[in-house]
Amino acid sequence: MSTSPERQSPELLLAALVACSLASLIAYNQPPSATLFNQVAALLAWGGFAMLLLIDRPALRVELKPASAALAALLLLMLAAGASVLWAGLPTSLALHAVALLAAAMVMLLVGRAVHQAGQVQYLLTLLCLGWVLVGVLSAAVGGVQVFAPQWADGDWIARSTVAGRAISNMRQPNHLASLLMWSCVAVIWLGESQRLRREGVWALLGLFVFTVMLSASRTGMVGVAILALWGLLDSKLTRASRLALLGTPLMLGLSWWLLGFWADSGHAFGAATRLSAEGAGSPSRLAILANAWELVKQNPLTGVGWGEFNLAWTMTPFPGRPVAFFDHTHNLPMQLMVELGLPLALLVLGLLGWALYRAFAAGQRAVGSEAVALRCAFMMVLMIGLHSLLEYPLWYAYFLLPTALFLGLCLGPAGDAAEASAGWSLRAGVLVLGGGLMVLGSLLTLVDYRSVVVIYAPPAGAASLETRIHRGQQSPLFAAQADYAAATTLPPGPEALEATRRTAHNLIDVRLMMAWAQSLHAIGDDERARYVVERLREFHSPQAEEWLAVCGEPRAEGELRPFQCEPVTRVFEFREMR
């Protein structure tokens, strides 16, 4: 690791650019997952970057105490995922996903801590900010194509937007694009503060990124712009030029709205205006899912429903006024932890994370000079994604979780020899190099394993029979749940399909799965549960389900039995009875 930001290693700079940009720019995907390649790319790139960053200092002893609260929170979440396998029947493959990502986050947290301890905060921050500016510019270009020239989006190099007039990036989510651009804005400020970017460049890049936020029509991004302005108003450590640029971001947002209004007047779609006129500043479905989640918390206050079990518990609990979309997350980090872990454990984890955030904030307040500005910029990266986590769930994606952990670690603890010599637990940086290597290896093995389910959904010429492909996919250590979904929805209703349904229901339940679930329950004679599943299905008001239920309105001869899905519910089941 170089000792001077002015003598940046070309290899490290390239690795930083790849780590920041690769996962966000991949559009190509293969079913059943639209983001698997993005997730794997993040694991691969950040693992490789961690190795290169510390490989020349394997004997450095990294003091753990400054990061102990964050480490404890991550460890508790890993234990919760493991416990859910034993207590809630969560499939091992799904638990492995969670444990692997949390373990990778621990590695990145400690990598950031090691860099802070080595006194290289500004060096690392510069590398990362160059990467975030690069990916911001490229993502803005992708977003521009999606809005202004959607016919150029081929789906392999540039993802096709699913909503006219909105930029979704190659991550295929407008809110993810907005969060990435908020990081790019913070990166621009640091590069300006460290005199690597002229004032004109700062304003131009901020304007580009804010304009692209407007293209995304993300309300989360618009709130993020307000936070940027608030940062400029309150942070006296920043130069006057940076503060003025930050204070100008709301004006940039307003100008972007005005310009896109002209675009809309010529007959084109303006996603932000359409969305705000239809939904307003809030989201009724998000508020409804939070209300439903709170009801589940009240029903399961001590133990929660189990890690990874929210979707199953919510779907299989009566909520007549529920949102009609299928939610696998509450879209609010504290609520997600409370509903899945229970109040005692969730409050403990949130308290530990809150303490870690306070320590990170305090480090920026104690520091002086350019080091203080660097730490505050790193903290703003964490704060931006933390605020996004109150409205979405970005930290469930490796391309946000891993850099967030790195930025948090970068903020934690004192730098210099005093930290290295202090009493307490520590580990050698060589262990983190090994951890980065395991992230790289794990990402490659994940790609190999993923092929076992890709052939189910996109079989090549000469592929084996569907039954054979499903059976092989069910042996996958990481993607068995996706193979179980295929089994549940394609095999004839009966015991085998029902077992597959019960396993894949821990992943994500949709209309097709619920219909197959009810049919398999009926096939084995469990009509009480079958009718209960149908009753829950009716709450979603799905057109696909309405077609299936249309037989209930057809005339019948006297004495003819009604189909099972037309009979009323005779018993209410607790969601745990449906596992």
Torsion, CA 18, CA 20, CA 21, CA 27, rounded to 10: 110
pLDDT value of position 432: 97
Following DSSP, what letter does each residue of 143-191 receive, concatenated?
HHHHHH-GGG--SSSSPPPSSTT---TTTT-HHHHHHHHHHHHHHHHHH
Give the percent of the chain with pLDDT over 70: 94
User: Residue ranges per domain, the chain?
Assistant: 33-117+342-458, 129-280, 459-578
Mean pLDDT across 21-30: 96
Query: Per-residue pLDDT tens for 240-253?
Result: 999 999 999 999 99
Structure confidence at residue 282 (pLDDT): 55
- The pLDDT tens digits of the residues spanning 162-220 come to 888 889 999 999 999 999 999 999 999 999 999 999 999 999 999 999 999 999 989 89
Q: Report pTM.
A: 0.94
E strand or H helix that includes residue 54: helix 36-54
pLDDT above 70 (res 287): yes
Residues 533-571 have pLDDT tens digits of: 999 999 999 999 998 999 898 887 777 788 999 999 989
Distance (Å) of CA 492 to CA 114, 360, 518, 546: 55, 55, 12, 21
Which stretch of 7-21, 78-92, 497-511 has the lowest confidence by average pLDDT?
7-21
User: d(Cα 147, Cα 69) in Å, to the nearest integer?
Assistant: 43
Angle between helices 219-234 and 249-265 (to 10 degrees): 150
Q: Is the pLDDT of residue 444 over 80?
A: yes
